[in-house]
Amino acid sequence: MKKYHFLSSAFLGKLSFSKVNPNHVLSFLFFIWTITKLISFRLWFQLDRVFPRIPAFQFLDFKGFEIIDLVLSISSFFLLVFSVFKPKPRLIVLLVILEALLCIFDLLRFQPFEFQLLLLSLVYIWKPKRFIFNLTLLLSATYIYAGLCKFNLGFVNIHWGYYFLEKSLSVPRAIAQIPMVKALGFSIPFLETLAGILLLTKYRNAACQGLILFHIATLLFLGPFHLNINQAVWPWNISMILLLWFLLKQPRLSITYSIFKPIGQKIYFIILFVFPLLGFTNFYHPYAAFRLYEGKVTYLVIQSASPTLAEFHQKNYHKLIPKVNHYTTLARTISLAEFQVPIAPVPWLHYRIREVIQQKVSFGEAEFYFLTYPYREVNIM
């Protein structure tokens, strides 16, 4: 009966969140992780996919590693399912190692939820008693940097003006483009950054409540009854809501609780709050820098005469580089269609994708372009 205690407490709500143990929280996150993998099963199990596997290193790019990749993916999945019910430290260490290898075998697997789970798994094994404190730091860093990266016209014009006002609320473009209306879009990154800071203060409860509403709105915005995109982040948003609710019920800890005591805590703090500054230089992975929905990003455009690309053809991008008998699309469009996840908008990953596609001739004799904000013209890679 003991192994079902988590299911009765966390899933059915029969136990107060203030009494939920950290291992129950981790078990729930593993459950969400399992659902996320099932949504993106083509990405993890290499089944019936058009977009090629993008290994971190060229020597990993041959068929022998595809078999190893599949074996590791299956092993990791069953280990993940087992860890939902019994999150034992040794199993979690093995799971983290397998997941890190799988992300090296295919860089597209490194998504925000993957990074979050790897970090939380490691800090849980390292210091279970500090799990709540380290969870607070992770959530704080997530919202601070996710908010800061949105302070740009790309976010205001695209995510706020086009997707939210025009497509979501059906606001006429003439109104959505009024300077004062556009300026209201900056309130979103401001409030998100402020909430991340407040998570570390005595106003943590107010920040948690506001962020829960923010994630509910995000689910309604991206969900199946509206934009219906990026399905793999739906479970992640649900997990963030429950993590914030869990944090809301915990006693508040001082920011000086243990940041400057053990060396491991200092390293964790640097990973969360110092390294993400490198994300603004394009030399650090944007998801490890919590750069989410920032708006002003660079996309990779693929153009080819290959029929394989035909089902992903997008006329609006083809207008930028018109070519007879060719198909044009974003690499991001293919990854969302096949894996339900976007491609991290960072140039070094785009160059690696081009290299792999050209070697495998995945889309015939393909040509590649950079599409940068304000998305009116392309640049040859």
Q: How far is CA 33 from CA 15, 116, 288, in A?
A: 23, 10, 17
Indicate whether 89 and 151 sit together in one domain: no
- Confirm whether 124 is domain-assigned: no
pLDDT (0 to 100) of residue 195: 97
Mean pLDDT of 305-318: 94
Q: Is 141 in the same domain as 243? A: yes
Mean pLDDT of all residues in 317-336: 95
Q: How far is CA 185 from the centre of its chain?
A: 22
Considering only residues 28 and 229, tell me which one the structure prediction assigns the higher pLDDT: 28
Q: How confident is the model at residue 137 (pLDDT cuts 50, 70, 90)?
A: very high
Q: Which of 42, 76, 110 is the last residue of a domain?
A: 110
Tell me the average pLDDT across 239-246: 92
Domain assignment present for residue 143? The answer is yes
Q: What is the mean pLDDT of residues 116-142?
A: 91
Q: Could you tell me if 138 and 105 lie in one domain? A: no
Looking at the whole model, is its pTM more than 0.85?
A: yes
For residue 314, give its domain range: 299-380
Residue 4 in this model has a pLDDT that exceeds 50:
no
Q: What percent of the chain has pLDDT over 70?
A: 91
Residue 328 phi/psi, 5° resolution? -130, 135
Half-sphere exposure of 264 (CA within 13 A, CB side): 9
Provide the pLDDT confidence category of residue 260 given band limits of 50, 70 and 90: low
**In this predicted model, which residue has the larger pLDDT, 82 or 250?**
82
Q: What string of H, E and C letters represents the secondary structure of 117-176?
A: HHHHHHHHHHCHHHHHHHHHHHHHHHHHHHHHCCCCHHHHHHHHHHHHHHHHCCCCHHHH
The pLDDT, as a whole number, for residue 12 is 39
Over residues 344-350, the mean pLDDT reads 93
- Which one of 248, 281, 314 terminates a domain? 281
Mean pLDDT for all residues in the chain: 88
User: Looking at residues 146-152, what average pLDDT do you find?
Assistant: 95
Q: Look at residue 3 in the predicted model and tell me its pLDDT.
A: 46
Contacts of residue 193, Cβ cutoff 8 Å, sequence gap at least 6:
143, 144, 147, 148
Q: Which residue has the higher pLDDT, 228 or 191?
A: 191
3-state secondary structure of 368: strand
Place of tokens 């919590």: 290
The answer to whether position 86 is within a domain reads: yes
Q: What is the pLDDT of residue 254?
A: 65
Q: Is the pLDDT of residue 31 over 60?
A: yes
pLDDT of residue 97: 96
Using an 8 Å Cβ cutoff, are 172 and 287 in contact?
A: no
Q: Is residue 116 part of a domain?
A: no
pLDDT tops 70 at residue 22: yes
Give me the pLDDT at residue 116, please.
92
- Residue 93 counted as domain residue: yes
Same-domain status, 249 and 150: yes
Nearest-angstrom CA–CA distance, 69 and 63: 10
Band the pLDDT of 103: cuts 50, 70, 90.
very high
Supply the pLDDT for residue 57: 87
pLDDT of residue 360: 85
Number of domains the chain contains:
3
Mean pLDDT on 93-120? 94
pLDDT at 124 over 60: yes
Residue 54 backbone class (left: φ over 0; alpha: ψ -120 to 50; beta: rest): beta
- Mean pLDDT calculated for residue range 208-233: 82
The predicted pLDDT at position 109 comes to 96
Confidence band for 259, pLDDT divided at 50, 70 and 90? low
Residue appearing with tokens 């996919």:
49
Q: What confidence score (pLDDT) does residue 5 get? A: 43
191 and 260 co-located in one domain: yes
Least confident of 139-153, 159-173, 197-211, 298-312: 159-173
Indicate whether 269 and 170 sit together in one domain. yes
For every residue of 33-91, DSSP letters joined together read HHHHHHHTHHHHH--S-SSPP--SSGGG-SHHHHHHHHHHHHHHHHHHHHHHH---HHH
The answer to whether residues 160 and 275 belong to one domain is yes
Flag whether 138 is in a domain: yes
- Quote the pLDDT of residue 24: 85
Residues 6+ apart with CB under 8 A from 247: 132, 135, 136, 139, 199, 204, 208
Instruction: Report if residue 115 sits inside a domain.
Output: no
Is pLDDT above 50 for 335?
A: yes
Same structural domain for residues 320 and 263?
no
Q: Is the pLDDT of residue 8 over 60?
A: no
Last residue of a domain, one of 238, 254, 281: 281
Query: Does residue 170 share a domain with residue 267?
Result: yes
Whether residues 73 and 214 fall in one domain: no
pLDDT of residue 18: 59
Is the predicted pLDDT of residue 134 greater than 80, yes or no?
Answer: yes
Burial of 256 (0-12, 13-18, 19+ CB in 10 A): exposed
Categorize the per-residue pLDDT at 121 as very low, low, confident or very high, splitting at 50, 70 and 90: very high
Q: What is the pLDDT of residue 256?
A: 61
**What integer pLDDT is reported at residue 126 of this predicted model?**
86
Same domain, 159 and 38: no
102/137 same-domain check: no
Domain membership of residue 61 (yes or no) is yes
